Chains A and B, each alone.
Chain A
């Protein structure tokens, strides 16, 4: 059970959070310009990384804020958390 450091509330139990999948997938500004394949890429395609992964989490039973998490999926270590709109830490690639 993770201990997640919400950037707004501090460390809280995983049960207060919900996971929102891969981070930094930007909704296309002009969807109508996209081909079916390009739209499908946005809509369906997600990475499934063994190693360092960027994820969205929501403190759903807390402040209800969304934020980003850098997690190593091979050992479940959370390496960093940062707010929505902030750039991912450069030391994780």
Chain B
């Protein structure tokens, strides 16, 4: 096996050999490697196939910008992870990785045929091709596209890993632990500011940490040596927290940032167990220093995507940091000085290399050094083509014309096994723009730079466009002193020597003799978009960068265009003949690198996903086979399946028992608001539609609450407990909102009222017993309570003790039966319930759930707010005009009840519906029409509640129908998928109109 690891470095622990599997084959690397560096050490460049043309692709970079080397990690159904960048994944024993987007394998990929038919699949191919015939979309195109779409495979089972969230506050957050970040963090922390320094890599130091060129020195030491010293220093600072393997995902307003800390991704499987995998840091910082550095740009020329073509500086890092050379015969193609550092490093390690430089000439210390070492430099030359299928084996260069627009002279063919490219550097302005910062364009080297934004955020170092070390350190120190309003002198005496770049030349799309249509000049490697695609988009009339991006998909892959966006912009500007700075950029959206769902969700999984509220009787319901229904966060018994009953049978049994003898309902979830104060009656007058002043103490009243727009908002029974004390009940789902609304009015509109509101929903448990035998059951429970109609009539309230525990008993009814609601302190709820069940045994007291409750109330025509109403129903629409006081001067929503729209006669109004076939049960939500012949069919309304009533032995329904009030007796039609159901409009009350049962 070839070995490209050619020297030892301090970052690779050669005593710790690590075995890993790639595409099923076992390889070895060392602790300290990334998957990418280990693969390169094994001579593997080819790591995947491109998305559209399935061209062989190799590792391009050494960091977060990697477009090609993305792989699938692991094979377990619950732990496998797609789209992991090999350049960021630290190697561990037992790692299993495989390449993506190729079948049957990376070396022979059937999809590669797309490369040969590529002239047929230009930008917008999908939009253009799959337009017609329309009928093909669903059956042919969509399934085909779905088959070939997507990168990698998602796990198919729940993620077993643990994730965590942490909230922190700091005076200063420094993003990026390169030279400028380290300086900023040290200055802040030494000035007693609580500081957090984060870096996405395993160790601090950025690209300076492996810098070893003698032309770049600080205080007479190699810059890397000087920096290591600084790192040792800052580790001693007590108010500096350093988090490595931590990357900022998002920078929100008010200096609120999200960071992802990787805790176990670098550990072997057995060491990961029971540990937190990733932690999401939610950071609030008073000040933020952005020191995220810059990313090297590729160059855009024909066939610039072959395996073995990398960014020049990445070749340098693989060599000096990992000890791995990317080839033995390397060509560096550049338009700036930084590739010369790579060249000199390679030369020192004995790797043959030559330089092709776009610039006509260049003079700096670095270039002089390269020349003196005898490194061959082709100035004013350009790479025009590359060769080699699975790996580059040679390339062609040509001389550039004076203006740089064309090539001149003869082709020179050079052999090589690796090509490094450097198109200059792009400052990482993501964080700055995510925080709302704007950008300036610097023509000289074609970069977007952060425009200083506010007093609480600053960019320093190369993300601010300062590229040489002297500039970086001097400017960082000055800016940080000013930014933090401090006077740190630590770097006053620091002596920096570095090579200064004097010559610049940038060409976004390099010239070629071959017509553009026949070239493959890739801009976005991951999404396979080429210069040709960009030009085509412009030709077809796209102008905005945002449109060109979406049409060509440039910058829309998992790397978010970190390597491609600048070139796309540059080519658009050149083609359209406008200045690049005027085009703007696409939006930099979070996250900077993809986040796992696990990190975002943290601990809120499984039973912690959502709050569950249970009544104190819950356990009994579970033991008695209750099926539960979610009402808001509450778990309410839906029905009790006895002896394997289905829901229909259970509900029929429960509702019959409630009317024939007795039923019991857990009504604890109803919202309860305790209202006290000298103005409590006046307050109720203002919030309900009916009058409250004359309600006697010990009496209950039903109330309807509107929104200011006149629409029904909530309803419930309120009891006057004493002169200035009421207990209001609300719907289960509306409780919290009703309280908020009442508080709003009290605090903002009527602060003069002496009223206090307290939510007591959770403080009381409620058992509601109804049915003809309910009085007998109550009598057994409360033998001393006079239950006669004279003493305790319908809509009244008594207090009594149940074994010394105080109970509030209301004789109120939502079923139309004689009915009592017993309220007790929640901790006694379960005992109360059991005592009721015990007392009711001889009367077949039957527990019933929400479904039976709904059925029973529908028989009586009682509405459920939210089921029979939908925020567009007035009291009049519900045929409840009786509850709207004519006398009261004002209440919430009153004025809206006679707006021109609310007094319309043809509003949708609540009616009853009876099916002509009494066995036919309507579907809730079904549409109602009167005429099915004239098209389009006129929709009159819809069914809101529908049940089979065992007590009436027929199907009943409530519905809202246009002008329904006037339609009693009229025949209507409910068209269903395979039949039309005939119905007759009826009264909304189906049972006991005379209310005899209430006093039975």
Contact = CB atoms under 8 A, between A and B. Distances in A.
Contacts, number: 52
A31 B895 contact: yes
B896 A1 contact: no
Interface string A66-78: 1000000001100
Interface stretch (B746-754, B860-868, B924-932, B946-954): B746-754
A31 B890 contact: yes
Contacts of B747: 65-66, 84
A62 interface: no
Contact of B436 (A26, A32, A66, A75): A75
A60 B900 CA distance: 36
B970 interface: no
B895 A66 contact: no
Interface string B224-252: 00000000000000000000000000001
Given A34-B895, A43-B708, A1 B256 contact: yes
B987 interface: no
A32 B889 contact: yes
B391 interface: no
Interface string B741-785: 001100111010000000000000000000000000000000000
B744 A43 contact: no
A3 B896 contact: no
B413 interface: no
B751 A84 contact: yes
A79 to B, nearest CB: 13
User: Chain B interface residue count: which class?
Assistant: 20 to 34
B922 to A, nearest CB: 35
Contacts of A75: 436
Interface string B146-182: 0000000000000000000000000000000000000
B399 interface: no
Contact of A2 (B253, B748, B751, B889): B253
- Of the four ranges (under 10, 10 to 19, 20 to 34, 35 or more), the interface on chain A belongs to 20 to 34
Contacts of A30: 890
A1 B253 contact: yes
Contacts of B749: 26-27
Given A31-B894, A34-B895, A56 B748 contact: yes
Given A31-B894, A85-B751, A58 B253 contact: no
A36 B900 contact: yes
Nearest to B707: A43
Contact of A36 (B709, B748, B899): B899
Contacts of B436: 75-76
Given A2-B254, A58-B740, A32 B895 contact: yes
Contacts of A58: 740, 744
A39 interface: yes
Contacts of A1: 252-254, 256
Contacts of A3: 254, 256, 284
Contacts of A27: 708, 749
A49 interface: no
A39 B895 contact: yes
Interface string A36-47: 100110010000
12 contacts: A18-B740, A28-B895, A32-B894, A32-B895, A43-B708, A43-B709, A58-B740, A66-B744, A66-B748, A75-B436, A76-B253, A76-B254
Interface of A: 1-3, 13, 18, 20, 26-28, 30-32, 34, 36, 39-40, 43, 56, 58, 60, 64-66, 75-76, 84-85
